Amino acid sequence: MAAQMGVAASGCDLAAGVESAAGDSKPKEQGKDKVAAGDIAQESQDPAGIQDKTERDFSMDCQATGCHAQMLLRPKNHKPAALGACRLCHRATGAQEDHRFNLIRDKKELCSFCHSPAPPEKFQHEPYVKGDCLKCHDPHGSTSSHLLLGKSAGDACQTCHNRQPLKHNHPPVAGGDCNACHETHQSREPHLLRSSEKELCIACHEDILADAAKAQSIHGVFQEQWCTGCHTAHTSDFEKLLVDRQVNLCLCCHDREIEVQPGKVLASIQDQLSSALYLHGPLKEGKCSPCHHPHFSEHRTLLRGNYPDSPYVEFSSAAYEICFTCHEERNFIEERTRRTGFRDGDRNLHYLHVNRTKGRRCAICHENHGSKNLKLVRQDFPFGDEEWKLPINYVATKTGGMCDSACHKTASYKNSD
Ligand code: HEC
Ligand code: HEC
Ligand code: HEC
Ligand code: HEC
Ligand code: HEC
Ligand code: HEC
Ligand code: HEC
Ligand code: HEC
Ligand code: HEC
Ligand code: HEC
Ligand code: HEC
């Protein structure tokens, strides 16, 4: 966080203020280097002694007569104004009907006279550096805190950063709470952020780390807390504030093979999809997250449920948890049924292959993401450590299907009855 601006280290003592107000540029009195509200109050009650005869009596004219009284009816007032010490910034001259009310200091000194600037930090906000304090602050008072123009910090920012909200808006942004994330004068962090991007998001979203300790797989990009690589901080046309349509976002990295360890390579999902004629249901909707958690998971491969990682596995519903969140498990438990297309008459061929001690996992026959064949049936399947490709030679027929695989002799089934 940026250092607070100190009030008056630059020598804004009362006497000096008043003297300047009277147009005198005598050196400032030593040893009184803070603007104390009490001093200001005292000054405003007893202006006579130091007042030039041509100058108007602020405490009488400006407020008691009511002309500028409304100026101080807002809930938050700038201390010197609230105390009627108008002369610390203004000098009024001329007859009442025709008085001038000049500022006694130029833009550069107007505020810094009492508010000594904080030591400069690496990233500075342009209007702050230029001394355009009045682009954000009202010198007299405000309805919001910190003497900001408008009803909230967000309004003060809107004048220059007018962003049209898109479909989905981050609540702190929608609420105009720009300060929740940004410093407004200067910051050590890029984009004037209050803290590093990593700390910033987690400060409010600690809950998303709740189960991280139990995770079996963590997405590297999440672990590096590269949140804004996938999410926008402000507003988005895509659900969950994503920077792009989900599938495009994921494929911006998964459009190639990724070597995770020497010898272990993740397939290019883009290649799988672009060669496919049929996509798995959620992918037709442009989504990966129904099956993979984008942050981390208690299961391997960021999956949202168990899925066997070897070709042969003893059947249990729990082993296929991920598939059975969307597909009916009873179709793999009933030995005879007509509820699946993978049957010969009422003989359930899913049951036959899957539901046994050395059951075949789904991926022996099905692609996960997309396939050239109907029903996501594979062309071939990888086998053994060398990843030989064993052909399946599946053909969908009018009455069912047949396969001429490496597993067994040509077999066909009829499901048209
Ligand atoms: C901290 C310095 C400061 C103090 C104290 C201050 N003013 Fe001002 N005042 C300003 C500045 C700066 C402007 C010019 C604002 C602008 O240009 O946006 C201004 C403008 C004005 C204006 C003209 C524009 C307007 O906002 O209506 C009036 C009237 C005015 N001040 C009255 C007062 C009165 C009365 C007091 C005492 C109760 C007072 N001011 C105290 C800094 C101050
Ligand atoms: C004559 C001295 C003086 C001048 C000139 C002055 N201020 Fe102040 N300002 C004060 C005092 C006194 C306070 C109250 C500090 C406190 O309460 O700790 C204050 C408080 C503030 C605050 C904090 C209000 C809050 O609620 O947090 C802001 C913002 C501020 N001033 C902005 C300005 C700006 C902008 C200018 C130039 C237009 C300016 N000040 C000029 C004396 C001055
Ligand atoms: C872009 C808008 C903007 C500009 C320009 C700006 N401020 Fe501020 N200022 C704010 C906001 C917002 C806050 C309150 C939130 C915060 O602390 O960041 C604030 C807080 C303050 C405070 C009270 C808190 C503190 O840091 O002590 C003072 C005093 C202050 N500003 C003075 C100034 C002065 C003097 C200038 C000109 C040199 C200036 N500001 C320029 C927006 C601005
Ligand atoms: C008077 C005009 C003005 C106001 C008011 C203003 N800004 Fe800015 N802001 C700028 C300019 C000019 C830049 C620098 C050019 C740019 O990056 O667009 C900037 C840049 C920024 C940046 C980007 C810094 C970076 O390095 O990427 C942030 C963040 C920012 N402003 C936040 C705010 C917030 C928050 C507020 C309200 C408290 C605010 N601004 C009010 C003019 C303004
Ligand atoms: C939840 C935190 C958060 C809030 C709230 C927030 N910002 Fe930002 N803002 C960021 C982050 C993070 C960046 C860095 C750029 C990025 O990756 O999106 C940023 C970047 C910016 C930038 C510079 C880059 C750009 O997009 O032009 C501006 C200007 C800006 N914010 C203005 C604002 C304004 C104005 C508000 C209030 C309406 C606001 N921000 C509210 C987090 C936030
Ligand atoms: C000041 C608190 C705050 C900060 C800082 C913050 N958020 Fe949020 N965010 C919220 C709130 C409140 C919600 C709405 C409730 C929820 O989903 O937790 C939200 C929701 C979200 C959502 C879900 C949106 C949706 O449509 O369901 C995402 C994604 C998100 N934030 C990402 C981020 C990222 C990335 C950052 C860091 C740049 C960040 N947040 C920083 C408060 C914050
Ligand atoms: C910025 C690049 C990037 C983006 C965007 C990205 N990933 Fe990844 N992903 C990787 C890298 C690199 C790996 C390699 C292992 C690691 O670091 O987690 C990986 C690994 C994975 C894994 C395998 C994890 C394992 O343990 O075997 C899955 C599944 C995955 N990503 C899904 C997704 C999904 C779904 C999305 C979209 C929500 C996505 N990725 C977006 C870079 C990315
Ligand atoms: C690889 C891309 C990616 C990264 C990196 C990433 N997210 Fe997400 N995040 C997503 C996706 C996709 C969703 C939507 C999940 C869904 O649809 O269920 C999401 C959802 C969220 C949500 C909404 C709550 C929820 O679980 O649905 C929040 C909050 C969130 N992310 C915050 C963060 C934060 C904070 C970071 C950085 C620590 C981060 N994300 C990093 C892709 C990512
Ligand atoms: C219907 C569920 C489902 C959807 C939707 C889905 N996946 Fe997968 N994905 C899986 C399954 C199951 C595996 C695990 C295969 C295995 O290792 O046995 C997997 C594996 C992966 C792998 C690891 C590949 C490897 O070679 O080990 C990556 C990377 C991946 N998916 C990324 C994605 C991306 C990106 C998307 C969206 C474009 C996506 N997935 C959509 C179910 C899905
Ligand atoms: C998030 C839900 C979801 C998960 C998880 C899921 N699927 Fe699917 N699956 C679907 C949808 C939706 C369809 C499309 C159904 C349709 O088009 O009628 C589909 C279609 C299929 C098809 C092709 C059926 C057809 O009619 O084209 C097969 C085969 C398949 N899934 C296998 C699996 C396997 C194996 C798993 C586990 C690794 C799995 N699914 C996990 C939702 C899911
Ligand atoms: C031995 C190969 C094989 C295995 C193993 C296999 N399937 Fe199938 N599956 C098929 C064939 C072939 C079809 C197409 C049936 C047709 O002609 O309509 C199919 C069809 C499907 C369908 C489409 C709806 C239906 O029942 O007809 C789904 C969903 C499905 N399989 C899911 C799974 C899941 C989940 C697993 C693992 C638990 C799995 N399959 C294991 C070969 C297999």
Amino acid sitting at position 194: R
Measured in Å, residue 251 CA sits from the centre of ligand 10 at 20
pLDDT reported for residue 141: 93
Backbone angles phi, psi at 11, to 5 degrees: 95, 35
CA distances from 17 to 45, 223, 282, 327 (A): 15, 55, 70, 79
Is the Cβ atom of 140 under 6 angstroms away from ligand 1? yes
Q: At what angle do helices 14-21 and 37-45 cross, to 10 degrees?
A: 40
Out of 26-35, 161-170, 325-334, 361-370, least confident range:
26-35
Q: Which residues contact 46 (CB under 8 A, 6 or more apart)?
A: none
98 pLDDT band (50/70/90 cuts)?
confident
63 pLDDT band (50/70/90 cuts)?
low
pLDDT reported for residue 6: 36
pLDDT reported for residue 149: 92
Residues 34, 13 contacting (CB under 8 angstroms): yes
Higher pLDDT, 196 or 26: 196
Cα 212 from Cα 297, distance rounded (Å): 8
- The secondary structure of residue 264, as a DSSP letter, is E
57 pLDDT band (50/70/90 cuts)?
low
Q: Which of 297, 323, 353 to mutate to test the pocket of ligand 10 (most atoms within 8 A of CB)?
A: 323
Amino acid sitting at position 136: C
Q: Which of 132, 142, 158, 161 to mutate to test the pocket of ligand 4 (most atoms within 8 A of CB)?
A: 161
Backbone angles phi, psi at 297, to 5 degrees: -150, 155
49 pLDDT band (50/70/90 cuts)?
very low
193 pLDDT band (50/70/90 cuts)?
very high
Q: Buried b vs exposed e over 377-412: b needs ≥16 C-beta within 10 Å?
A: bbeebeeeeeeeeeebebeeeeebbbbebeeeeeee
Q: Which of 362, 413, 414 to mutate to test the pocket of ligand 11 (most atoms within 8 A of CB)?
A: 362
What one-character-per-residue DSSP string does 226-241 give?
-HHHHB-SSEESSGGG
366 pLDDT band (50/70/90 cuts)?
very high
Pick the residue whose CA is nearest to atom 9 on ligand 5: 233
Is the Cβ atom of 362 under 6 angstroms away from ligand 10? yes
The mean of the pLDDT values for the chain is: 85
Residue with tokens 């597909």: 327
86 pLDDT band (50/70/90 cuts)?
confident
Measured in Å, residue 147 CA sits from the centre of ligand 1 at 13
Per-residue tokens: 51: 């007042």
Out of 5-14, 233-242, 253-262, least confident range:
5-14
Higher pLDDT, 153 or 363: 363
Is the Cβ atom of 67 under 6 angstroms away from ligand 7? no
124 CB neighbour count, 10 Å cutoff: 16
388 pLDDT band (50/70/90 cuts)?
confident
Is the Cβ atom of 291 under 6 angstroms away from ligand 9? yes
294 pLDDT band (50/70/90 cuts)?
very high
Higher pLDDT, 256 or 63: 256
- Sign for the CA dihedral angle at 275, 279, 285, 288 comes to negative
pLDDT reported for residue 95: 74
Q: Which residues contact 266 (CB under 8 A, 6 or more apart)?
A: 254, 257, 258, 259, 260
37 pLDDT band (50/70/90 cuts)?
very low
Cα 348 from Cα 328, distance rounded (Å): 14
Beta bridge partners, 101, equal 92
Arithmetic mean of pLDDT, 376-405: 87
Percent of the chain past pLDDT 70, that is, above it, reads: 84
170 CB neighbour count, 10 Å cutoff: 19
pTM, rounded to two decimals: 0.90
Domain borders along the chain are 6-115, 121-195, 206-301, 305-414
Is the Cβ atom of 228 under 6 angstroms away from ligand 5? yes
